[in-house]
């Protein structure tokens, strides 16, 4: 059975049109453990991220079918949907420390079981990240598997009828080799990961100097597009139904990545909110809840996938400008699993099947606490250890 690379979990909340159909979670173990596959095409990105399956081919965002909606449709345009949040984000005072530290959860939902007894389960992984200001220091990423459970009481009954098979969660065979239950996996990556893989070759110190006005910020980021576009000439051909990145979709992807993980100034964060809200295909969703039930202001991008449709949603706490979540929601349910995504068919409309939820994001001078015997790994190219 194929092992799920630990990096598969890092960007579970990437924009929908940066991925082929699917979500980053696994299938739970049936009498024989089953693995959810996320076959994705990433060209040169795949080479730099080994087998990271969370970055995929780009497809242009599509509008919702008539009568299909997620969240509450705001009366104002997407262009100013995040204005208040942007102002409040830019007004936050922050003193940069040695590390930009984030903590959160990677959440997923999928359908498993025998054809005559299907049921939904929810997976959870606790994550952390320490991005250094010093380019000579490596980024530390952690993941800790949390128990997988049936999605509801009704789903639990179906699971019991199936004989209560062991639920592996974000693991391939319940051997705790990916997101270990009760233990923490530490991974070490270059300080510019993942931005350098997407053409934005700036260390943390220069990320902090990015423009704080939307138009100037857009111009600065797009200065990296020509070289990235040129590099795509060496990429393999995308699979049917997929396409190479466009300038707009690349800009959206890198902007959302910066919002999620990067050590940026409060003013740049506010400018990014305004910029992504004005990108083509953006919908204003008004006040919506994230996968943990927290309310915020949302914008979204929809995409047709197989015979269904999904929407990527960015949710921000308006009063503070704090990023709450980036999540994928079923808009039009799938009658059969899209290519590379087992367990998606049967999820009802409105299901958050893939989410990165933020619990904390702040500067700190305290590095990640590494387990004994693991400290030397920070000096190597890419290593991981479990403690």
pLDDT tens profile 313-333: 999 999 999 999 999 999 999
Residue 96 lies in a domain: yes
Asked whether the beta carbons of 148 and 166 are under 8 A apart, the reply is no
> How high is the pLDDT of residue 78?
53
What is the rounded distance in angstroms from the CA atom of residue 377 to the CA atom of residue 293?
Answer: 37
Give the pLDDT confidence score for residue 137 in this predicted structure: 87
Interaxial angle between packed helices 266-277 and 214-222, expressed in degrees from 0 to 180 and rounded to the nearest 10: 80
Q: pLDDT category, 363, cuts 50, 70, 90? A: very high
Dump pLDDT digits (tens) for 21-39: 333 332 222 222 223 333 2
Tens of pLDDT, residue by residue over 217-270, are 999 999 999 999 998 888 888 766 567 889 998 999 999 999 998 999 999 999
In a domain, 253, yes or no: yes
Average pLDDT of the segment spanning 277-299: 95
Q: Do 12 and 355 form a contact (C-beta atoms < 8 A)?
A: yes
As a whole number, mean pLDDT of residues 371-382 equals 62
Question: How many structural domains are present in the chain?
Answer: 1
pLDDT of 153: 95
Cβ neighbours for 130, distance < 8 A, ≥ 6 positions apart: 99, 100, 101, 139, 140, 141, 364, 367, 368
- Residue 260: inside a domain: yes
d(CA 6, CA 383): 11
SS3 349: coil
Domain assignment present for residue 75? The answer is yes
pLDDT greater at residue 136 or residue 360 = 360
C-beta of residue 188 within 8 angstroms of C-beta of residue 119: no
Cβ neighbors of 218 (< 8 A, separation 6 or more) are 251, 275
The answer to whether position 1 is within a domain reads: no
How far from 266 is each of 157, 263, 303, CA to CA, in Å?
48, 10, 30
CA distance 237 to 111: 31
Of residues 169 and 306, which shows the higher confidence score?
A: 306
Note the pLDDT tens digit of each residue in 165-216. Answer: 988 766 555 665 567 777 888 988 877 776 777 888 888 889 999 999 999 9
Q: What is the pLDDT of residue 36?
A: 35
Q: How far apart are CA 100 and CA 128, in angstroms?
A: 11
Strands (DSSP E) found in the chain? 99-114, 117-132, 139-150, 185-189, 283-289, 295-305, 308-317, 322-332, 352-364, 384-386
Report the C-alpha gap between 334 and 346 in whole angstroms: 6
The Cα–Cα gap between 66 and 257 comes to 30
User: DSSP readout, 149-170?
Assistant: EESSHHHHHHHHHTT------S
* Mean pLDDT value across the chain: 77
* CB contact set of 66 (below 8 Å; sequence gap of 6+): none
Helix (H, G, I), strand (E, B) or coil at 117: strand
Any domain includes 379? yes
Range of the domain at 289: 6-386
Give the residue from 7, 38, 42 showing the smallest Cα distance to 231. 42
């Amino acid at each position: 059975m194929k092992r799920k690379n630990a990096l598969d979990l890092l960007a579970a909340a990437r924009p929908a049109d940066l991925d082929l159909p699917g979500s980053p979670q696994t299938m739970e173990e049936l009498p024989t453990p089953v693995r959810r596959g996320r076959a994705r095409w990433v060209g040169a990105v795949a080479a730099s991220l080994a087998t990271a399956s969370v970055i995929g081919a780009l497809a242009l965002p599509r509008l919702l079918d008539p009568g299909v909606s997620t969240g509450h449709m705001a009366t104002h345009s997407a262009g100013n949907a995040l204005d208040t949040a942007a102002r409040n984000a830019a007004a936050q005072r922050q003193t940069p420390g040695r590390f930009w530290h984030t903590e959160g959860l990677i959440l997923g939902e999928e359908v498993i079981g025998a054809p005559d007894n299907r049921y939904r389960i929810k997976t959870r992984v606790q994550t952390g990240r320490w991005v250094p200001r010093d380019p000579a220091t490596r980024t530390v990423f952690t993941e800790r598997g949390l128990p997988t459970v049936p999605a509801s009481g009704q789903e639990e009954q179906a699971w019991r009828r199936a004989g209560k098979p062991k639920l592996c969660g974000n693991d391939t065979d319940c051997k705790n080799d990916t997101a270990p239950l009760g233990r923490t996996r530490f991974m070490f990556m270059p300080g510019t990961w993942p931005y350098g893989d997407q053409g934005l070759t700036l260390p943390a110190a220069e990320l902090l100097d990015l423009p704080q006005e939307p138009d100037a910020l857009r111009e600065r980021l797009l200065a990296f597009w020509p070289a990235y576009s040129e590099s795509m000439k060496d990429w393999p051909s995308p699979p049917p139904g997929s396409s190479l990145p466009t300038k707009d979709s690349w800009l959206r992807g890198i902007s959302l990545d910066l919002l999620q993980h990067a050590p940026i100034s409060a003013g740049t964060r506010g400018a990014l909110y305004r910029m992504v809200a004005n990108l083509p295909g953006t919908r204003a969703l008004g006040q919506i809840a994230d996968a943990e039930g927290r309310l915020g202001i949302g914008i979204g991008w929809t995409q047709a996938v197989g015979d269904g449709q999904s929407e990527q949603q960015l949710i921000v706490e308006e009063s503070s400008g704090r990023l709450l979540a980036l999540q994928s929601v079923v808009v039009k349910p799938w009658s059969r699993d899209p290519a590379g995504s087992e367990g998606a068919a049967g999820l009802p409309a409105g299901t958050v099947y893939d989410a990165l939820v933020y619990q904390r994001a702040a500067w700190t001078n305290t590095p990640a606490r590494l387990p004994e015997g693991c400290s030397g790994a920070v000096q190597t190219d890419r290593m991981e250890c479990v403690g």
